[in-house]
Chains A and B, each alone.
Chain A
Amino acid sequence: MGHDRLERRAVISGVGQSVIGRQIDRSGLQLTLDAITAAVHDAGLTIDDIDGLAMFPGGGKANLPGYANGNLYEVQDALGITTTWRQGQVEGMSLPFYGPAQAVATGEARHAVVWRTVKEGSAARKAGGRPAYGSIHPRAEGPLAWLLPVGALSPVCQVAPYATRYLHDFGVKREQLAWIPITQRAHAALNPDAVYRQPLTLDEYMGSRMISYPICLYDCDVPADGSTAIVVSTSEAAGDLRSPVRIEAMAGVIDGRPAWELLEDFTRVGYATAQAMWSRTDLRPTDVDVAQLYDGFMIEAVWWLEAMGFCQAGEAGQFVEGGARIALDGQLPLNTWGGQLSGGRLHAGFGHTAEAVRQLRGEAGDRQVEGAEVAAVANVGGFEAGAAILTGW
């Protein structure tokens, strides 16, 4: 089925990252160039092979300090290349490699690199704490005009009502879902690049400070500095690449009202995307060996566990409780690099994609999942959702 799918004509050929940490005293441009250089080398290519460039968030407006870094044209100038395709990603952020895959599949480019550079760790330090959403603009514009003036000043306040409704409707307990951050922290201990590596206990989780009920400190990802670059190549070039990874299926559907407070059912996020994605492959949830599911907030990983069919609606609490199923040797190892909760807020699915590629290649070091051949990747920014299945070559 479906060998003519667009995404089958593209492969992820390389991933690379700069140094990652809570405060890296280097510019966004330098971190970006480190990541791109590493990713291109990882692909087995040279900079001169790159003819497509994409970045998140492109020229789009940043609502958080340290969120947007650098400029695509400065990067192209630094690299000294010619490009036939470029993209700034915000809308259409469903997956980092979505647009680049379209570009190489249609011949617009042969090898495209997409990157995401964050300096939110430094920005939070400078501000003396995590800053308010929109605090870099004097007035709340667009969708934020309905949220910031009433005191929903952070993405936490926007996502928290989803968690409130989820806990209410399904009777799931915070003590159960706590095993997502706890287990991911155990994974992070095996990742030398993770921001938080010391163990997290259930008592520490339950005793942690509430940020915006029911979201506590350990349900929030950790602001970080760092850059992730991903090279996407035409599958025709597979023979020239060091270790390509297949894009088995990908999709990004917005079916509900696209605003944080307006989505019709707060307990069902990502279902249309997951359904569209599964319709593009013969693989099933039980075929997945490792899952890298977006976790800007813990509840977002819950959405994906259920939307992608790894467990039924409302059953994520039972599924993750105790952590055994989502551990490295469990039935669905989850966010094996620590996720954004412990690995660092690399954002927009970039860290998740990089880890999926490492796992499928058997290059994930001490946290390698034995025999990982099929990886799920999902990204979410509320209503904007993307899901994919990647497989080894």
Chain B
Amino acid sequence: MQVSGGTDATVGIPPDVTEETEAFWTAASEGRLVVDQCDDCSAFSFPPRGMCRTCRSRSMRSVEVTGRGRIYSYTVNYQRWLPDLEVPYAIAIVEFPGCPGVRVVGRLRGCAPEEAAIDAEVEVGFEPGPGGYAIPSFVMLGPAP
């Protein structure tokens, strides 16, 4: 979904990319959200730690999350923590009914930050973030049920 407007998210602190997180940030640059899924028990694990949180298998693969998410909670940040940081913006913590145990933190765009709501459905997306990295950025699909 193409949604323009909102706050520039490029001012900030970029991630340190590690062996565990490289797949996530590479997929992010392609606009895809990936999490770990266990080859042995099929459980999801995120953030990736190289071990299945459910059965401790070390055999994991990256799979794309394509379904809608749901806002577990959120905040609207008004404070200019860094020079040139554009405020306000909403930060949402999103769960995915199809991927139990996965929570992803991202920005919310395409609406006024104050419209953020617990239990609202969101579509997965990304937007340009600090240091040239694409960061998770969700779009609300309507008000909370």
Interface majority SS (helix, strand, loop, mixed), chain A: loop
Q: Which of B75, B133, B137 contacts A164, CB < 8 Å?
A: B75
- Which of A137-145, A195-203, A234-242, A322-330 sits within the interface? A137-145
A134 and chain B: residue at smallest CB distance = B13
B70 within 8 Å of A (CB atoms): no
B89:A151 contact, CB within 8 angstroms: yes
B79 within 8 Å of A (CB atoms): yes
B57 within 8 Å of A (CB atoms): no
In residues 102-151 of chain A, which contact B (Cβ within 8 Å)? 129-135, 137-142, 145-151
Contacts of A147 in B (CB 8 A): 105
A59 within 8 Å of B (CB atoms): no
CA distance A133 to B114 in the complex (A): 24
Contacts A139-B15, A261-B93 given; does A151 touch B9 at CB 8 Å: yes
Total A-B pairs, Cβ < 8 A = 125
Contacts of B133 in A (CB 8 A): 149
B74:A161 contact, CB within 8 angstroms: yes
Contacts of A148 in B (CB 8 A): 12-13, 15
Shortest A212–chain B CB gap in Å is 5
**B→A interface (CB under 8 Å):** 9, 12-18, 21, 47, 72-82, 85, 89, 91, 93, 103-107, 114, 118, 129-131, 133, 135-137
Q: A148-B15, A151-B85, A153-B12 are in contact. List 5 more A-B contacts (CB 8 A).
A: A137-B13, A141-B16, A157-B91, A165-B72, A262-B103
A/B interface sample: 28 pairs, CB < 8 A: A132-B81, A134-B13, A135-B13, A135-B82, A138-B14, A139-B131, A140-B13, A145-B17, A146-B15, A146-B47, A147-B105, A148-B12, A150-B129, A151-B12, A153-B85, A154-B79, A156-B79, A160-B77, A161-B91, A161-B93, A164-B74, A210-B78, A211-B77, A212-B76, A213-B114, A214-B75, A215-B75, A261-B103
- CB-CB nearest 8 A-B residue pairs: A160-B75, A161-B73, A132-B81, A153-B81, A213-B76, A139-B16, A145-B15, A165-B73
